[in-house]
Amino acid sequence: MLIRNILAAAPSLCALIGVRTASSSFITMASDPKKLSQLQLPQRSHLKLPKDVVKEKEVLVFGDIHGCFDELQELLHKRKYSPSTHVVLSVGDMVNKGPKSLDVLNWFYENRENGVYTVRGNHDDSMLVTLDKLKEGGNDDIVKPSYSYINDITTEVHNWATRLPYTIEIGDLLIVHAGIVPKLDMDQQTPFDMTRMRFVTDTPEGKYEPLQRFAEGAVQWATTWPGPQLIVFGHDAKQGLQEEPFALGLDTGCCYGKRLTCAVFESTNIIGKPKEDWYRLVHVKAHAVYEEPGTKPPKGSEPTEAETNPNSCPIL
């Protein structure tokens, strides 16, 4: 209990421990402290917005933007976006791959007081890791062209990005980048689960083990989510649009030349309503192919194994 209280007061200490197994949650020291990630975890990982934030407003939830600023603006224009009539939410991965990551970052930052919100995705975390490595004297070779924007990120935007949550709850919606492990309390979801998971496998204890890549017996986590809360997520452009009973995946591969997708909610109070009344989808076509699928990031620019390991520290 003492350790959990310490972690709750200082989330960054999660980098000093490893924790969850498939059968139970516990605290243990990491095996190799030298390989620990330097990722700064937010002080508040789960943000719950009051319902009056969306009162009489249309809610727009965007899939992975990945630096596709022009497509974002086109889709906002298509919905006749105005801060007085809309709330904007993003499933994360604002940056990388596309040509205008800095513009996307700055737009979300500049409109943070105008009903514009985003969660952190794995690429947003990677951006923060790369920023920190460069500030610590890292080699500029770790920065490929789609990361070059980080040299122009202001201190204010950097500090704002480090405070972004991993989930946002509003009404009957939960926004997250990658997913939520079913049968696991929110305070036990790890950064890996919320930013990298795509699949789950059954465990002998009747729970689920999160996986980033497919393995024998694995299924898409979204197919196992029981509801009634609707989870809106991204992260999986290979699968494209995913419409499950209680999960909606919006990564439709804009950065790969496909399209940017937005889910439009007239109300966030959807439980008990017919499914066809929950949301409608709006798309715009990508203006170009900005990156080919499967392109690997530069060595050193991605978070370390300690950060991506599913046994990494849960958010307490």
Which two tokens mark 272?
Answer: 């008990």
Q: Mean pLDDT: which of 7-21, 139-153, 171-185, 297-311 is highest?
A: 171-185
Angle subtended at Cα 145 by Cα 142 and Cα 151, rounded to the nearest 5 degrees: 70
How many angstroms separate the CA atoms of 67 and 106, rounded?
11
Is residue 300 over pLDDT 70?
Answer: no
Cα separation, 210 vs 133, in Å, equals 28
Mean pLDDT computed over every residue of the chain? 82
The pLDDT value recorded for residue 22 is 31
Q: Where are the domains of the chain?
A: 2-308
Mean pLDDT of the 273-284 span: 96
Phi/psi-derived region of residue 22, left when phi > 0, alpha when psi is between -120 and 50, beta in every other case: alpha
pLDDT number for residue 139: 61
pLDDT of 267 over the 70 cut: yes
Q: How far is CA 48 from the centre of its chain?
A: 15
Condensed to tens digits (0 to 9), the pLDDT of residues 105-137 reads 999 999 999 999 999 999 999 999 888 887 776
Report CA torsion sign: 236, 238, 240, 245.
Answer: negative
Whether the pLDDT of residue 160 is over 50: the answer is yes
Q: What is the CATH number of domain 2-308?
A: 3.60.21.10
- pTM over 0.85? The answer is no
Burial 302-312 (b: 16+ CB within 10 A, else e): bbeebbbbbbb
- Distance between CA atoms of 245 and 225, rounded to whole angstroms? 8
- Which DSSP letter does residue 308 get? H
